[in-house]
Structure 1
Amino acid sequence: MSVNTLSKLKTQSLFLTNLERRSKINRNPKRGYRGRVEEPYRVNEKIRVPRVRVVGENVEPGIYPRDEALKMAQQQGLDLVEISPKADPPVCKIIDYSKFKYEQKKKQKELKAKAQKVVVKEIRFGPNTDDHDFNFKLNHAKNFLKDGAKLKAYVHFVGRTIVFKERGELLLLKFAQELEDYGKVEQMPKLEGKRMSIIMSPKPSKIVKAKPKSSQNKEAQNQDN
């Protein structure tokens, strides 16, 4: 292979390498780049319709030209916010938009907190559970409900013990009765295969909120002193 041919191949290889690098840069935008975040509502001059229906406590409800409604908002030091764009004409409110957004975010956080996964604790019995074992598990169940967890108690039937299903049902009903101050029954005893189960949810008034670690440490120090 001649020197000229080798030089051409090296140049061609370098060109392809640079081309590949540029292609990767184009495919991978810079990290940390965030596109423009659009507001969920049209506000003030961004409302581009000739007429709007204005509702709310601080204004006479009715249909107004957009410019007049905007002027009404400005006179009160507030914003004209389009809350129902698909209505004819679109529905607007005269409110403090910053405060409105804050309240909306607060509501979303509250809904998200309520939608968090519920903890379910399980307690297992046999159809011939004795009083000592029953009371031991009853104390655990009380603590679970006070912690705010749901409770699923079940009787597991092995082999021929399935003939004692009535005994298992009575045991679960007695268990629920002992816990009526701490929880309420969501599902009565129900047989599924070799298991009969009952489900209870905690009573809000009986849920004990966990103390912060700092307060627990202070209590421990006071006891030591």
Structure 2
Amino acid sequence: MFAIAAKEPRLNEQITAREVRLIGYDGEQMGICAVEEAQHVADNAGLDLVEIAPNAKPPVCRVMDYGKFKYEQAIKQKQARKNQTKIETKEMKFRPKIDVGDYTTKKKHVIRFLEQGNKVKITIMFRGREMAHPDQGLSILERLADDLKDMAVIEAQPKMEGRNMHMVIAPLPSTVKKKKEAAKKGGKGKNQGKDEE
């Protein structure tokens, strides 16, 4: 099948060329003929004459059921959008002097983002005198990267920008796969998995 350009192609009487290269309904090349003759072939088959390559010399026209073709294209586009995985970058902020409880909680959020297939930007925010000890922030980032080494990779190494230090981590394909498989198993029962989130 031919992809349709964003602009709607010309159909039947809208085709202005005097001669066209005709392609039959089954994809058979029927040669160059007058546009009236091509229209006659389409009419006899109860189908449309569609100009699929207007800039060719002569333009290329195809005999097809245009309504059905448009419908199939819309279904294909919908499927393509459905199968597209949208990768977002989430952000999680830490302080250089974070306590163990907060660190654990924030790490759980980071794990959840990774399992959803998202990248995570880890930001260490320095205030006042904390700026004199960037090594504290770096040690938190290194600790987090080490804790998550089985499920994520460092995509952007830690770097200082103004008062913040950033690092970007991305999920390993196995991390997302495990989560999807767990979701499939959990979704088998009717009411299972509804209040997981």
CA contact (8 A) 1:145 1:207 kept: no
Change in CA separation of 1:190 and 1:63 when aligned onto 2, cut-off 3 Å? farther
Change in CA separation of 1:170 and 1:87 when aligned onto 2, cut-off 3 Å? farther
Q: How far off is 1:192 after superposition?
A: 1.5
Given residue 109 of structure 2, which amino acid in structure 1 is its aligned partner? H
> In the alignment, which residue of structure 2 is the partner of 1:51?
19
Q: How far off is 1:63 after superposition?
A: 3.6
Q: How far off is 1:163 after superposition?
A: 3.2
Change in CA separation of 1:157 and 1:106 when aligned onto 2, cut-off 3 Å? same
> In the alignment, which residue of structure 2 is the partner of 1:91?
60
SS at match of 1:136: helix
Given residue 187 of structure 1, which amino acid in structure 2 is its aligned partner? A
Whole-Å separation in 2 of the counterparts to 1:75 and 1:181 = 65
Whole-Å separation in 1 of the counterparts to 2:66 and 2:136 = 63
Identify the structure with bigger relative contact order (alpha carbons < 8 Å, sequence gap 6+).
2
Given residue 9 of structure 2, which amino acid in structure 1 is its aligned partner? Y
Given residue 52 of structure 1, which amino acid in structure 2 is its aligned partner? V
Q: How far off is 1:80 after superposition?
A: 2.4
* Per-residue deviation, residues 3-51 of structure 1 (Å, max 9, x unmatched): xxxxxxxxxxxxxxxxxxxxxxxxxxxxxxxxxxxx9221233322112
SS at match of 2:123: strand
Q: Where is the helix percentage greater, Structure 1 or Structure 2?
A: 1
Change in CA separation of 1:92 and 1:187 when aligned onto 2, cut-off 3 Å? farther
Given residue 191 of structure 2, which amino acid in structure 1 is its aligned partner? K
Which consecutive unaligned segments of at least 5 residues does structure 1 have? 1-38, 221-225
Whole-Å separation in 2 of the counterparts to 1:43 and 1:180 = 58
1:21-170 to 2 correspondences below 5 Å? 40-54=8-22, 58-60=27-29, 62-73=31-42, 78-109=47-78, 120-170=89-139
> In the alignment, which residue of structure 2 is the partner of 1:195?
164
Q: How far off is 1:102 after superposition?
A: 1.5
Whole-Å separation in 2 of the counterparts to 1:116 and 1:181 = 22
* TM-score, normalised via structure 1 length: 0.58
Q: Which moved more, 1:152-161 or 1:198-207?
A: 198-207
Given residue 151 of structure 1, which amino acid in structure 2 is its aligned partner? V
Q: How far off is 1:110 after superposition?
A: 5.6
Which consecutive unaligned segments of at least 5 residues does structure 2 have? 1-6
Q: How far off is 1:193 after superposition?
A: 0.9
Q: How far off is 1:62 after superposition?
A: 4.7
Change in CA separation of 1:147 and 1:117 when aligned onto 2, cut-off 3 Å? closer
Given residue 126 of structure 1, which amino acid in structure 2 is its aligned partner? R
CA contact (8 A) 1:53 1:90 kept: yes
Whole-Å separation in 2 of the counterparts to 1:62 and 1:158 = 76
Whole-Å separation in 2 of the counterparts to 1:114 and 1:190 = 34
Aligned pairs, number: 180
SS at match of 1:88: coil
Change in CA separation of 1:107 and 1:132 when aligned onto 2, cut-off 3 Å? same
Change in CA separation of 1:40 and 1:193 when aligned onto 2, cut-off 3 Å? same
> In the alignment, which residue of structure 2 is the partner of 1:223?
none
1:162-181 to 2 correspondences below 5 Å? 162-181=131-150
Q: Is 2:191 the partner of 1:218? A: yes
